[in-house]
Chain A
Amino acid sequence: MNYPPNVKIIKVPCTGKVDVIHLLQAFERGADGVYIAGCLEGDCHFLRGNLRAKKRMEYTKRLLDEIGIGGERLQMYNMSAAQGPRFAEVAREMTERIMTLGPNPIRAKNRES
């Protein structure tokens, strides 16, 4: 199973642990894109962790639009632990999307200066 090496994985006990500030800080520190890989909806061990993550992701998307980074750089995907090929497919899909969007405007600006 191959997936693009640019994807850095940050493990969390459940996507319900992911908060707005974690997503923002990833972008603040230069990430070009972030995606949350959560369990399938309805399959959360903690019942609603992935549904909470989805709402926080949607809120953060709006913040990123306001900030001018672009909410499209953030996404959430749902997959089970047994769906390795799907994980790789999502990694490729997200990488392609970000390649099209270009680098995080903050990093682009830093590079200029």
Chain B
Amino acid sequence: MIVAERKPLEQISSMIESNSKVLIVGCGECVTVCSAGGKKEVDILASALNMIRSKEGKPIEIRQETLERQCDAEYLEQLRGFIGEYEVVISMACGAGVQFMAEKYKNSLVLPALNTKFIGVTEEQGVWSERCHACGDCKLHLTGGVCPIARCSKSLLNGPCGGSTNGKCEISPEVVCGWQLIIERLSDLGQLEKYEEIIPINDWSTNRDGGPRKVVREDLRL
């Protein structure tokens, strides 16, 4: 899932300081699961902004909505009837949702309430961590299912580097060395011979280095 985190309330409230009619829109997908921008978080943000503004003596009118998701036009369409009544829209979706809403509603000012962090997993209730960089050329079959791009701080394809100590990365004793994980996993799978193979220089053009990316499936287009 895409993992995000709410921006500080002060930052959000300063974005809307001159507005008195605000629509807050949550997203029912990833950011609901990582408790950053679902219905519950929309309620909390609305309540917090209400209090901040009442305290300042500048009451605010807030409407709360949570869509199935904000990265598909058909759900964004549900706002069509009333979005124009609001001076600003605060989107609690990931960066993709915020932008797509702004694209679909050209006359509305759409503001982000979250900082989008990474593609990751729920390690345990309340703990999320990064697993994928969306590099566009998956190498997990070579590395025992542990991603060298996302899990190695240097994204080395033939690691570990000299900074790996006792299985930990030199950037922090809290961070496990990605290549330590790869070697352990390959060893558990009885595939250590894969570690002997040199992974060639990476073609980063499938990554962001190739510019904004797009996937087109002609067979699915209408």
Contact = CB atoms under 8 A, between A and B. Distances in A.
Contacts of A63: 9, 44, 48
Interface residues of B, number: 15
A105 to B, nearest CB: 5
A25 B55 contact: no
Nearest to B49: A67
Contacts, number: 44
Interface in B184-205: none
B43 interface: yes
Nearest to B54: A106
B162 interface: no
A113 interface: yes
Contacts of A27: 51
* Ranked 3 nearest A-B pairs via Cβ: A24-B47, A66-B9, A106-B54
B55 A113 contact: no
B57 interface: yes
B55 A109 contact: yes
* Band of interface residues on A: 10 to 19
Contacts of A110: 54
A34 interface: no
10 contacts: A21-B44, A24-B47, A27-B51, A63-B9, A66-B10, A66-B48, A68-B52, A109-B54, A109-B57, A110-B54
B50 interface: yes
Given A63-B9, A66-B8, A66-B9, A24 B48 contact: yes
B57 A67 contact: no
Interface in A79-113: 105-106, 109-110, 112-113
Interface string A5-46: 000000000000001110011011000000000000000000
